[in-house]
Amino acid sequence: MRVGFQGEPGAFSEAAVLRLLPDADPRPFPTFDEVFEAVRDGRVAFGVVPIENSIGGSIHRNYDLLVDGDLSIVGEVQVPVVHNLLALPGVTLGEIRRVLSHPQALAQCAGFLRTLPDVEAIATYDTAGSAKMVRDEGRRDTAAIASERAGRLFGLEALKTGIEDFNDNITRFLAVGRDRVPLGPPDKTSVVFTLRSEPGALFKALSVFALRGIDLTKLESRPVPGRPWEYLFYADVAAAREDLSCGRAIVHLAEFAASLRTLGSYPRWREPEAPVGVQPEQEHARG
């Protein structure tokens, strides 16, 4: 089964594909837009794209692609992110004058980068792609921030490991598909809606879930293109769309929302159980 992701082999997005669907055949694409297009035209069965990071926040482009297209969320996966400073074999930390990586990775390692004197941080399209650029350019003054696997794939050595500013650095990814069939029994639902500009509108919208005891796990607002100061609201709730209380809440919301769409109902990510004899912290380190 072909599954699309953005970036190069060795990217954290590829790791997300294999963590969610271990038997998948990951297929790389240069941009998020091309991942969505590949799912839409059937070149891949699903796409797996990042939606938020516990340090860097939301990946806004993918929120926009979700609402602009006709694909559905069918699953999610969380990936612990460990960043490494990678360079050509034999290079020392003192030789580095440039560091390449995706803007999110640079932001997640900002504290470490400030400890490097006279080093320029340069944003690129991908973490693993940055490692590939270091290999292809062959410059001893250039390093990349990427995964350990990217280092192995592109023949680089780690000058420093675990350089992210916070230990609990986790990225949540969504799996999107053409059909609304989830990858497992659903217990989470994502919706997007707009509201009329009137007092208490957002309070009323959120109350439809609170009054029914449904947990709101995520709320995100994005501007409506072409309509200044109007917003789309994305909400994740901890219930399946087919649950009676959730279904009634969404019907209630539709009564006063200017527009409303269900983006998908799917299984929440649950960490795999650690093998017998493996402590939880060891399993986390392996992720």
Which of 12, 36, 173, 209 is catalytic? The answer is 173
Catalytic (active site) residue 173: yes
- Cα distance between residue 24 and residue 3, in whole Å: 6
Contact 263, 272 (CB under 8 A): no
Residue 232 CA, distance from chain mean position: 19
Handedness of CA 63, 106, 89, 129 (dihedral sign): positive
Of 124, 127, 171, 194, which is the active-site residue?
171
The H or E element containing residue 63 is helix 60-68
Q: Is 272 in a helix, a strand, or coil?
A: coil
Residue 171 a catalytic site member: yes
What are the residues whose beta carbons fall under 8 Å from the beta carbon of 165, sequence distance 6 or more? 55, 108, 109, 110, 111, 112
The answer to whether 95 and 134 have CB atoms below 8 angstroms apart is no
Enumerate the active-site residues: 171, 173
